[in-house]
Chains A and B, each alone.
Chain A
Amino acid sequence: MQKFPTPQGMSRRHFLTHLAGASALAAPAFSLTQALTAQAATIKRNQKSCILLWMGGGPPTIDIWDMKSGTPTGGTFKPISTAGEGQITELLPKVAKQMHRLSIVRSMSTREADHERGRYYMHTGYVPNPNVQHPSYGSVVAHELASNRRELEIPPFVSIGGASEGPGFLGMAYAPFQVDSNGRVRNAKANVEEARMMDRVQLLNVLERRFVRENRGSAAVEHAKVLQSTLSLLTSNQMEAFKVQDESEANREWYGNTGFGRGCLMARRLVETGVPFVEVNLGGWDLHQNCATGLQTKLPEVDQAMSALVDDLAIRGLLENTTILWMGEFGRTPRINGDAGRDHWARSWSVVVGGGGIQGGKVVGATNKDGTQVTSEPYSSEDLMATVCRAMGISLDRTFKASNGRPMKIAGGGKVISELFG
């Protein structure tokens, strides 16, 4: 079979016009044609976005943001001063220079110190519950903001280099779109030319609609919706946003030639395109052994990418509308174990936030001398989400009806960390 890549210049609008007008056969149950009313891809300014820098595995924040040098739990690295209030690890010198734009919350105190449960809790604000699948924050934000962004043709929730958490009861249309940080979206080129693809999609629509009409439940409907999103993406010029390799060499060097660096750079491109929620994953923090050695390789990668991202967003005027959140599923034990590692620890740990109207340069909360207890008001996943919502202009009064009929407050009833707003 001959392969014709979808022509670069073909717009989705063009494609759909063909599809809609082609014949009487095209009368989809789900509206492929609805998007025709969308305006061409002109991205409005002032669109709010959130970038979550997800440190999978649980980073030892006691070695990074809330150092206890000189105590038995303090670890090997030295703290350095920053452009903001607090001191941070010497392994983040570039980030230190950006700390007037970011704030540290040192009084996170949570209960889930198992990876799966911690990941779920920190992504949703709920502990796993057999009767309801909670949507992740990314899905919630996508759900809240995507409806006002009709011009957005790529998924409203993108997860780079990791799986994130699912859309729960909001449905697969709000699932994280998982991509690699190399900028190549797998299988995003059709094997046949445009006209032929249209023919195929016509028949596919008939099949899809027939099965949905047979009333076999939500899986069939969800499939149809995801198919629509996929077709939209397949023919969109906005796919360029993923092409991190198109950035100038200087920019790529600025963010660092690492997976996380490319991920952060892609996140900036996606935010520029209007994607409301981007998660960039950096795993490998499960440092049960040789914690210090692990940090010597991980933190320089973070330093380069995170400092570039903050600086770049600020320079482009995007930082005031883009909330940045750096966190993992929990912290790690103040005690250093027999393998020179640190184990899971949720009782007292730190996260970093900034942008989108959140004040930079602050240190919120504190822990005791050896970092084993929070000594100020403790904050939770829900409180963080409430803070992000506030920064993104999403009302905290918003409630969802969960699949089991129970009303569910956005951010799970968390309270805004008020010190972060002027």
Chain B
Amino acid sequence: MALQTQPCRISCISFPRISCCLLLVLLFCTVCPNRSQAEVASKTSVKALGSSTKGSATKEDSAKGSSSRAQGVRPTSEDSATTEVDEQIVALINRQIRSAWDENGLHPSKRATDAEWCRRVYLDLLGRVPTVEELDSYTVGKNRSKRQALVDRLLGSEYHNEYVDNWSTQWTNTLIGRTGGRMRRSLISRSGMEQYLRSSFQKNKPYDQLAVELISATGSADPKEEGFNGAVNFLVEKLDDDGIQATTKTSQIFLGTAVQCTQCHNHPFNEYRQNQFWELNAFFRQARVQRTRDPEDENRFFGRIVDQDFAGEGLELYRDDRSEVFLVERNGKLVDRDKERLNAAPVYYELRNGQVRVAYPVFVDGTSLVEKFSEQGAEYGNSGYLENVNRRQELAQLLISVPDFDQAIVNRTWAHFFGYGFTKPFDDMGPHNTPSHPKLLDELSQAFRGAKFDLKTLMRWIVLSEPYSLSSRISRTNAKDDPTLGVSPQFSRFYVRQMQAEQLYESLLVATHADETVKEERRSMLKERWLRQFSTAFGTDDNAEATTFNGSIPQTLTLMNGELVNRACSTGSGSFLDKIANDSSLSNREKIGYLYRAALARFPSKEEIKVCNSLLASRDGDLVGTLQDIWWAVLNSNEFILVH
């Protein structure tokens, strides 16, 4: 449904060049009093659009899209061409970003070179640098819309598996951190989480569905267990201590708000109150974690989330042993007057002054379950009985219906591609943290909802936008646009940022063609082992962790002397460097050029060639040894490790 409503929503606000027939639809849309009419209207709009698109949003697709919620705008990966709607959204981004440049007296940097942009987009979409072959085939192209053509390819079926790998990894790290499931006695199955995400991204599952599944999941965390549901891994270790972490992380990840401080006191900078934390927390209190020991390994536990009746904090489940029951008439029916009150399941929290307060499920926008179920009785919504209310399922539906949900994912995704979101940090939004581009964030979020929460579509808009196309070189006219100085990012240049450890790993594999020789299983085992060394868990109940892959000395030491780069620099027979050294079709200069393109997506400068030649001379013409030195230097450079 939502693809169709998308043009309506934003067009009303900011599309001067929209076609007449669309505008009519829009007007209809804005006046239609209820949802079903809006749906009719938006279907019409799709037809109007379908006639002018380049064959991708065919009637058949839109029919599919509207008939099944599970299928996104682009139900299959094959169907991945950029549409006119997409172009309109890209134009919207460009217009809003530009107008902020004008307001701030900024001129953007030049466009990035083709090669720079190509490297960037491979890293951000697929999590690795392009191969020399991919880079060359892109840079030789003369087609004016070749950037769009490349994005279509990277988001299409050809690269779908790599896309799935990359985004499963990204989301695994988001949902359970880099240490989740990697510690002894952990209930989390990292591979269970990955499996779930992989199959979700494989189907290009809409983001709202993903969120609902993660928040309300029940079942076993481990793929080997009966009733496996990988989605439970998100919450399986966050429900201890009354579900404080479940509350905090759900809020942070899916609503973009940092509420952890409000568990103890009102937020110091905004209007979040302590009661809101506990009212949100109350939604998680029917969820229980069951743990069983692995019969084969006493240090391993399997976790499972189940929903159970919740009596309320400190209360026993109510057993009805009343000798008298009062019946009253409600909506023409006789009902038990006290039933709901007796079923109500409260949670309690303590104010800083020691007073104790009570909380029932109320969502952050003020919607309470009591209101929602008011027709069933005054306190029905506060019931902890599953037969009355499943609190997490209610939460999931409330959560995906608010604009904060859309804004959180748009901000997160934007930050993935630009290094900065519209707020700093991107998951601490709220009245205390004014976004750099409030209107753009708002409209892009609505458009994303309109596009049925299709993540590939959102990514397409972002990578095809003008700010994403800019060089990372600072010019005299935009030096003040520097978020490291504490100012709001204006995206007038591409902010250089460091690769993630995962990106480095994949890049090295691809650059040295090691991905072609090592079997998939062994590859992921080796990768897992390598990644572990960087993460430290604080061992606290919030599962906090830190990484030494943060540009500090331990990271530099790893790149200089560690096994991964050492292996990439191998000169054994059949190795990457050995093959290049012995490739008789390439001159020495071309060999060096190949290494530079593989790592840096550029040719060596004159000065660099000179140094390389003097290295060759100092090594008495030992070509493979010299190539090894060059490769080592290139892989250790700032230019390699930075996305630019």
Contact = CB atoms under 8 A, between A and B. Distances in A.
A188 B432 CA distance: 44
Contacts of B63: none
Interface in B593-644: 605, 607-608, 610-612, 614-615, 618-619, 628-630, 632-634, 636-639, 641-642, 644
Contacts of B317: none
Interface stretch (B91-99, B189-197, B321-329, B560-568): B560-568
B496 interface: yes
A216 B643 CA distance: 11
Contacts of B644: 216
Nearest to B494: A216
Interface stretch (A219-227, A241-249, A310-318, A414-422): A219-227
A217 B263 contact: no
Contacts of A113: 263-264
A223 B425 CA distance: 23
A36 interface: no
Given A191-B561, A206-B607, A223-B641, A25 B614 contact: yes
Interface residues of A, number: 78
B522 to A, nearest CB: 22
Contacts of A189: 561
A271 interface: no
A185 B553 CA distance: 11
B430 to A, nearest CB: 10
Given A56-B539, A119-B538, A223-B638, A206 B608 contact: yes
Contacts of B628: 1
A220 B472 CA distance: 11
Nearest to B570: A1
Contacts of A68: none
B140 interface: no
Given A219-B497, A226-B552, A188 B642 contact: no
Given A207-B637, A211-B639, A229-B553, A220 B496 contact: yes
Interface string A298-337: 0000000000000000000000000000000000000000
Contacts of A227: 556, 636, 638
B560 A286 contact: no
A242 to B, nearest CB: 12
A219 B552 CA distance: 12
Contact of A200 (B485, B486, B632): B632
A151 interface: no
Interface string A397-421: 0000011111000000000000000
- Most A CB contacts (10 A, CB to CB) among B433, B487, B550, B632 go to B632
Contacts, number: 209
Interface stretch (B29-37, B47-55, B73-81, B541-549): B541-549
B376 interface: no
A56 B545 CA distance: 12
A219 B612 contact: no
A111 B484 CA distance: 28
Interface string B349-386: 00010100000000000000000000000000000000
A116 B260 contact: yes
B20 interface: no
A233 B264 contact: no
B114 interface: no
B241 A177 contact: no
Contact of B638 (A191, A211, A284, A288): A211
Contact of A219 (B496, B634, B636): B496
A190 B561 contact: yes
Given A130-B433, A199-B615, A219-B642, A286 B541 contact: yes
Contacts of B263: 113-114
Contacts of B541: 115, 286, 288
Nearest to B555: A226
A154 to B, nearest CB: 9
A314 B641 CA distance: 45
Interface string B566-607: 100111100000000000000000000000000000000101
Interface in A225-273: 226-227, 229-230, 233-234
Interface in A180-203: 185-191, 196, 199-203
A345 to B, nearest CB: 9
Contacts of B542: 114-116
Contacts of B186: none
B560 A57 contact: no
Interface string B528-546: 0000010010111110101
Contacts of A200: 629, 632-633, 636
A286 to B, nearest CB: 5
Nearest to A214: B473
Contacts of A178: 536, 548, 552, 554
B638 A219 contact: yes
A208 B546 contact: no
A162 B633 contact: no
16 contacts: A1-B566, A56-B539, A57-B540, A115-B542, A117-B261, A119-B538, A162-B536, A163-B536, A191-B561, A196-B629, A203-B611, A208-B637, A216-B642, A227-B556, A284-B539, A344-B264
Given A1-B570, A186-B562, 16 more contacts: A25-B610, A57-B539, A132-B486, A163-B536, A175-B550, A178-B552, A178-B554, A190-B561, A199-B615, A203-B630, A207-B633, A220-B639, A223-B551, A227-B638, A347-B352, A406-B486
